[in-house]
């Protein structure tokens, strides 16, 4: 009952404000979940989302160059905090909306084993990962290889995608036999929907805490604040977990 009342209150609050459009910059790993969540947000708030997806580092550069975004959903927690310090985001508004999971994935069934031992087998020519200087999932992949003592041996086989989205495409197309991607990209109802995968233990890389932040352009925009409130709601958090993330 309490949750229902809170949901109704949220809807009334949003409906009381004039319907508007929110420009959202979102890390590539969360683009598909956000597109799905957009329908729910638009239903309860009356506002619409306009989504631009890409690598976190690239989106940061676009924000610094004046791109017209109201809200930023990053793939890390450092970039939103940095934007706050630099005056490009509203101080005190960043928070963790999801915690991502890194997986080693192949589009081929049975290619990746449950322990990730395939990395030591030498039975592949290309390993895809996102550019570590642009994408936190790419940085986590490099940390994983380093922790496993395999970075030097595997480095000649690495092909880099600009974002985790492009990395996924490399593996899905077969241009790379396997690659490090986000669990959210390959899971459906809690199961790997195609191929084979190893969920990388969290101890092998820094936590993939993904933070949202209200950007300076959205400071006085009720629709932007409504989106941040929507992502904190328990119903939304449950939906996010269904996409292969954890929530704080």
Residue 16 has pLDDT above 60, yes or no: no
pLDDT, residue 5, reads: 36
Give mean pLDDT, residues 115-141: 96
Residue 60 has pLDDT above 80, yes or no: yes
Sheet holding 158-161, edge to edge: 158-161, 127-130, 178-182, 102-106, 196-199
Read off the pTM. Answer: 0.88
Give mean pLDDT, residues 216-235: 97
Residue 6 has pLDDT above 80, yes or no: no
Give mean pLDDT, residues 128-152: 97
Q: Which residues contact 72 (CB under 8 A, 6 or more apart)?
A: 24, 25, 26, 59, 63, 79, 80, 83, 89, 212, 213, 215
Residue 169 has pLDDT above 70, yes or no: yes
| Cα separation, 97 vs 150, whole angstroms | 32
Q: Buried b vs exposed e over 172-198: b needs ≥16 C-beta within 10 Å?
A: beeebbbbbbbbbbbbeeeebeebbbb
Shortest CA distance to 184 belongs to which of 69, 57, 35? 35
| Cα separation, 107 vs 100, whole angstroms | 20
pLDDT, residue 15, reads: 45
Element (H, E) at 10: helix 2-16
User: What domains can you pick out in the chain, each with its CATH number?
Assistant: 2-99+208-242 (3.40.190.10), 102-199 (3.40.190.10)
Residue 49 has pLDDT above 60, yes or no: yes
| Cα separation, 70 vs 21, whole angstroms | 9
Give the DSSP per-residue string, 107-144.
SSTTSS-TT-THHHHT--S-EEEE-TTT-HHHHHHHHH
pLDDT, residue 190, reads: 80
- Per the prediction, the chain carries an average pLDDT of 93
Between 143 and 8, the higher pLDDT residue = 143
Residue 52 has pLDDT above 80, yes or no: yes
pLDDT, residue 3, reads: 47
pLDDT, residue 27, reads: 97
Going from the C-alpha of 82 to that of each of 57, 60, 243, the distances in angstroms are 12, 10, 27
Q: What pLDDT, in 10s, does the model give residues 195-219?
A: 999 999 999 999 999 999 999 999 9
Give mean pLDDT, residues 163-187: 96
| Cα separation, 209 vs 96, whole angstroms | 6
239: buried, middle or exposed (CB in 10 Å: 19+, 13-18, 0-12)? middle
């Amino acid at each position: 009952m309490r949750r229902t009342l809170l949901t109704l209150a949220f809807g009334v609050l949003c409906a009381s404000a004039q319907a508007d459009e929110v420009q959202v910059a979102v890390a590539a790993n969360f683009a598909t979940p956000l597109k799905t969540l957009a329908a729910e947000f638009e239903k309860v708030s009356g506002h619409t989302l306009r989504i631009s997806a890409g690598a976190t580092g690239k989106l940061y550069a676009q924000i610094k160059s004046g791109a017209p975004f109201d809200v930023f959903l990053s793939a890390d927690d450092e970039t939103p905090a940095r934007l706050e310090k630099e005056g490009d985001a509203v101080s005190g508004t960043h928070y963790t909306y999801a915690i991502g999971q890194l997986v080693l994935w192949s589009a081929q069934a049975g290619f990746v084993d449950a322990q990730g031992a395939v990395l030591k087998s030498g039975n592949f020519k290309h390993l895809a990962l996102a550019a570590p200087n642009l994408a936190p999932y790419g940085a986590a992949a490099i940390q994983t290889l380093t922790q496993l003592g395999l970075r030097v041996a595997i480095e000649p086989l690495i092909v880099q995608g600009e974002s985790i989205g492009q990395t996924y495409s490399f593996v899905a197309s077969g241009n790379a036999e396997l690659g490090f991607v986000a669990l959210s990209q390959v899971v459906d109802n809690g199961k790997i929907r195609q191929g084979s995968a190893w969920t990388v233990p969290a101890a092998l890389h820094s936590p993939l805490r993904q933070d949202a932040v209200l950007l300076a352009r959205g400071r006085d925009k009720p629709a932007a604040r409504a989106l941040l409130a929507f992502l904190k709601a328990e119903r939304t958090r449950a939906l996010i977990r269904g996409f292969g993330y954890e929530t704080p």
